[in-house]
Structure 1
Amino acid sequence: MPDVHLTGQLICRSAEEDALVREHLPHHIALTRAEPGCLSFAVVPSAAPWAWDVAERFADEASFRAHQARVAASEWGVATAGIERRYTVRGLSRAGLDPAE
């Protein structure tokens, strides 16, 4: 079973959205890196203002989907739900390619 890679950007529309990311990101990173199957997880400021580069890798589809489910109900997920995501995911089966991270 192949690992799952997500890459892309989180695009804030304002300084307020960017501040939300900065406030909630450290806890989100810590929780994600502690998840079973998380091989790597990075969210770092992009060269573009208010944009964040995202790169994550999970051991398999099950661990990636478990991560997605946890995130949807998390403080991070609620606080950043309105922020645009531009992601590409490799390694998922055809059923469900909608990461809401």
Structure 2
Amino acid sequence: MFTSKMKRRLSTMILVALLCLAGFGGCATLSQEDRALLESTRQSAEEAKAAAAKAEEMVSRLETTAGNAEQAATSAQMAAERAEAAALKAERIFDKSLRK
């Protein structure tokens, strides 16, 4: 039924399949060192995620602060313009009073 060539080919395929299964089985179990490395990597990723969230919060605060500073600068500019206008008006009134 099977020729010797087919038997050898079938044997080779079975051997390759067994080696693959053994290889995958070896990959399925991790050494203690590998587990420690994976745990360390997971912790580092969590710390990086927390740091990124903190940085986003700080950026948000800085943007809010920058907006508040811009509003304060605008208000100060408007107050300076009003003070300058009031000073000019006072100077004109004083000049008028001297002419009389």
TM-score band, normalised by the shorter chain? under 0.3
Q: TM-score, normalised by structure 1?
A: 0.19
Which has the greater radius of gyration? 2
Higher helix fraction (1 or 2): 2
Q: TM-score, normalised by structure 2?
A: 0.19
Higher RCO structure, 1 or 2 (CA under 8 Å, sep 6+): 1
Higher strand fraction (1 or 2): 1
